[in-house]
């Protein structure tokens, strides 16, 4: 596989797309810019606020489910034998890379269920994907010389310029992981841990020299002072292709009276259960007492370390990612904390006799909890590397998270082409893409009027286009796909080569097979245009993250800033009677003295997958 990209000036090319003719002429470029400004302002205004929006819950999830379910003990083969589809507990130390570990854990289970393959056989994981590969390339911008050179996330962790390995502690979300997977960067199977040498050895989670140190609690870990870099030649290495990434509804909505909407939470929880019943573990974010297992001197605030039951009883952001593998409706609310120690200026408080000063805190309003896999090691870990660490229920590395946790969010499930059906259909293939900026969250721009977004690609060889990839940003969203060829740099507006519609229950990343393939000769150009709508609302999917200005103004929750690259002729917007090169819009909105000046924008997340044809 190789990644093909092309440049193309859009002057006079898109004189009149069919979709443009249907769009009211009263709208134009300024209306698109105004919509982008509104979206940016909403993002800034909502920064740090939790539970401000209710999502639509797809009707497919609204049914009854069993009281308990556990992907470590389920009969997916319908042979009466329950099996484990969850890989062993791993250990993220020494870095804050929980988001990569949580995403990989969910990916491994999804793949195992689709393969109908047990997770552990003969005391060894049957699949072991690389958290290191994902974490490294999310924070390694595209190299100079590439058309998208310089695009990416730049770590701002202290000391990162002296030791680039520290970028692995920059923090991120699982959405960033799936966005790089969608670009062909992973997921990757780790090689044999003990015997592998050379560049692929670093797909395992350790530095090049396997230097070790110990934590504050005496646990052995690999040292962050080692060289953890991964060779650039492995960037587009991929064992399994991501076919669908499913963004689940947020379960937390805070009502005007400041209380959590429990009825809505229970409806959203059904969407999580639906995915688990389908064999997809869930990567989620929540507010943990700590984002690593080695904090000392901290008083427990949300987790009961006797039962390892966690409940964030107040609206809070997310600082840790984990993997949900099951649930228990009957898990008693009494297992959660009802008292915590006072903390003054970050220091636990004691009375004159040295006894902790305690205060009452609320327990969950009802019974019920998610069964959660952490990445802080376990007492009996069998995974390769230094994973032994006594944490979780009976040292197992697992804990319980209340259904009603007031920080739970950023929930995602994955579906992979595990049998290589897509790759087998494509054979030797190329992905045409421009959107290589990892995105921490799903963003869209509601325009208030019909709008079409698109990318233009040029065939590097004789090719047959067979699949298209897109990102839906609303639940129950309809997408209209239009494909146009060119003749002497002019589009044949009367004869689109292909047009079709697709409905998506959940927002997320989707690889869609074309109902009819499209043949391209070497050098031939094709435009892929998408119109997104949900009900009467129209949207644009635009990748964007906070730039250096946004980071310095403390709008970015993690330690990085973003640089997006949109070259002339790559992406366009069609609105009213105008076709606008998106690079022009990007330049204008980023230069405004307003909310968009804090953001760096990327190309539209539209890709095509084409088989190469032998001459």
Give tens-digit pLDDT for 455-470.
999 999 999 999 999 9
Q: Is 256 helix (H, G, I), strand (E, B) or coil?
A: coil
Give pLDDT, residue 26. Answer: 73
Q: Is 357 helix (H, G, I), strand (E, B) or coil?
A: coil
Give the number of other CB atoms < 10 A from CB of residue 122: 5
Alpha-carbon torsion, ordered 227, 229, 234, 235, to 10 deg: 170
Would you place residue 516 in the very low, low, confident or very high pLDDT band (cuts 50, 70, 90)?
very high
Give tens-digit pLDDT for 390-431.
899 999 999 999 999 999 999 999 999 999 999 999 999 999
Give tens-digit pLDDT for 518-566.
999 999 999 999 999 998 999 999 999 999 999 999 999 899 999 999 9
Contacts of 534 (CB under 8 A, 6+ apart): 474, 475, 476, 477, 478
Give pLDDT, residue 286. Answer: 96
What percent of the chain lies above the pLDDT cut of 70? Answer: 94
- Which of 265-274, 383-392, 410-419, 447-456 is predicted with the least confidence, judged by mean pLDDT? 383-392
446: enclosing H helix or E strand: strand 444-446
Task: Tell me what the mean pLDDT of segment 594-614 comes to.
Answer: 96
Q: Which residues pair with 212 in a beta bridge?
A: 222
Q: Which residues pair with 378 in a beta bridge?
A: 388
- Report d(CA 478, CA 574) in Å as an integer: 18
- Which of 7-16, 167-176, 216-225, 570-579 is predicted with the least confidence, judged by mean pLDDT? 7-16
Q: Is 110 helix (H, G, I), strand (E, B) or coil?
A: helix
- Report d(CA 597, CA 591) in Å as an integer: 6
Give pLDDT, residue 195. Answer: 72
Q: Which residues pair with 529 in a beta bridge?
A: 454, 482
The CA R_g of the chain, rounded to the nearest whole Å, is 24
Burial 307-336 (b: 16+ CB within 10 A, else e): bbbbbbbebbebbbbbbbbbbbbebebebb
Q: Answer whether 558's CB lies under 8 Å from 550's CB.
A: no
Give the number of other CB atoms < 10 A from CB of residue 591: 10
Closest listed residue to residue 358, CA positions, set 337, 341, 343, 344: 341
Q: How far is the CA of 367 from the CAs of 160, 215, 248, 340, 374, in angstroms? A: 44, 36, 22, 20, 21
Give pLDDT, residue 492. Answer: 63
Task: Tell me what the mean pLDDT of segment 20-44 comes to.
Answer: 82
Per-chain mean pLDDT for the chain: 91
- Which of 38-42, 51-55, 101-105, 334-338 is predicted with the least confidence, judged by mean pLDDT? 51-55
Q: Is the pLDDT of residue 23 over 90?
A: no
Would you place residue 6 in the very low, low, confident or very high pLDDT band (cuts 50, 70, 90)?
very low
Give the number of other CB atoms < 10 A from CB of residue 148: 23
Contacts of 145 (CB under 8 A, 6+ apart): none
Tokens of 306: 């006797």
Q: Is 590 helix (H, G, I), strand (E, B) or coil?
A: helix
Task: Tell me what the mean pLDDT of segment 81-99 comes to.
Answer: 95
Q: Is the pLDDT of residue 369 over 50?
A: yes
Would you place residue 300 in the very low, low, confident or very high pLDDT band (cuts 50, 70, 90)?
confident
Task: Tell me what the mean pLDDT of segment 337-364 comes to.
Answer: 89
Give the number of other CB atoms < 10 A from CB of residue 438: 29
DSSP, residue by residue, 285-346: EE--S-SSTT--SPPPSSEETTTTEE---S-----EEEEEEEEETT--GGGS-SEEE-EETT
Token pair 């470590």 in the structure block, residue? 72
């Amino acid at each position: 596989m190789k990644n093909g990209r092309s440049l193309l000036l859009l002057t006079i090319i898109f004189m009149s797309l069919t979709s443009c003719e249907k769009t009211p002429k009263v709208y134009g470029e300024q209306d698109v810019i105004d919509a982008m400004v509104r979206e940016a302002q909403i993002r800034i205004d909502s920064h740090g606020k939790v539970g401000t929006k209710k999502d639509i819950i797809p009707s497919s999830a609204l049914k009854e489910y069993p009281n308990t379910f556990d992907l470590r003990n389920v009969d997916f083969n319908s042979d009466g034998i329950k099996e484990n589809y969850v890989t062993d507990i791993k250990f993220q130390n020494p870095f804050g890379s929980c988001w990569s570990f949580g995403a990989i854990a969910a990916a491994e289970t999804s793949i195992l269920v689709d393969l109908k393959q047990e997770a552990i056989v003969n005391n060894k994981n049957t699949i072991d994907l690389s958290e290191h590969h994902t974490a490294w390339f999310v924070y390694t911008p595209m190299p100079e010389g590439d058309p998208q050179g310089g695009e990416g996330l730049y770590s701002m962790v202290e000391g990162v310029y002296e030791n680039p390995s520290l970028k692995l502690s920059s923090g991120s979300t699982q959405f960033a992981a799936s966005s790089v997977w969608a670009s062909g960067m992973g997921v990757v199977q780790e090689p044999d841990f003990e015997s592998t040498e050379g560049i692929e050895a670093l797909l395992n989670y350790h530095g090049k020299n396997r230097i070790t140190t110990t934590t504050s609690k005496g646990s052995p870990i690999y040292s962050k002072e080692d060289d953890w870099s991964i060779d650039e030649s492995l960037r587009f290495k991929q064992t399994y292709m991501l076919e669908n990434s499913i963004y689940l509804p947020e379960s937390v909505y805070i009502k005007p009276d400041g209380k959590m909407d429990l009825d809505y939470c229970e409806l959203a929880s059904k969407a999580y259960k639906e995915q688990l019943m389908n064999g997809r573990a869930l990567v989620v974010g929540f507010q943990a007492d700590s984002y690593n297992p080695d904090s000392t001197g901290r008083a427990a605030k949300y987790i009961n370390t006797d039962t390892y039951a966690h409940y964030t009883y107040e609206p809070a952001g997310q600082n840790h990612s984990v993997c949900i593998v099951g649930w228990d409706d009957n898990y008693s609310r009494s297992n959660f904390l009802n008292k915590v120690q006072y903390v003054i200026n970050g220091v636990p408080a004691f009375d004159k006799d040295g006894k902790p000063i305690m205060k009452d805190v609320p327990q969950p309003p009802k019974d019920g909890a998610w069964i959660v896999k952490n990445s802080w090691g376990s007492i009996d870990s069998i995974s390769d590397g230094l994973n032994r660490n006594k944490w979780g229920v009976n040292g197992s590395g697992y804990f319980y998270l209340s259904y009603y946790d007031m920080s739970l969010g950023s929930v995602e499930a994955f579906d992979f082409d595990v049998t290589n059906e897509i790759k087998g259909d494509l054979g030797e293939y190329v992905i045409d893409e421009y959107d290589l900026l990892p995105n921490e969250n799903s963003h869209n721009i509601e325009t208030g009027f019909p709008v079409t977004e698109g990318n233009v690609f040029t065939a590097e060889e004789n090719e047959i286009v067979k699949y298209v990839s897109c990102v839906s940003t609303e639940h129950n969203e309809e997408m209209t796909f239009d494909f146009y060829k060119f003749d002497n740099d002019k589009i044949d507006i009367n004869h689109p080569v292909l047009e079709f519609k697709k409905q998506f229950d959940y927002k997320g990343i989707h690889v869609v097979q074309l109902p009819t393939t499209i043949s391209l000769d070497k050098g031939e150009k094709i435009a892929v245009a998408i119109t997104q709508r949900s009900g009467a609302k129209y949207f644009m999917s635009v990748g964007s993250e906070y730039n250096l200005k946004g980071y310095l103004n403390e709008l970015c929750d993690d330690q990085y800033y973003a640089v997006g690259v949109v070259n002339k002729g790559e992406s366009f917007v069609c609105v009213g009677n105008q076709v606008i090169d998106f690079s022009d819009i990007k330049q204008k909105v980023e230069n405004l003295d307003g909310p968009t000046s804090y953001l760096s924008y990327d190309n539209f997340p539209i890709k095509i997958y084409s088989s190469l044809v032998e001459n």
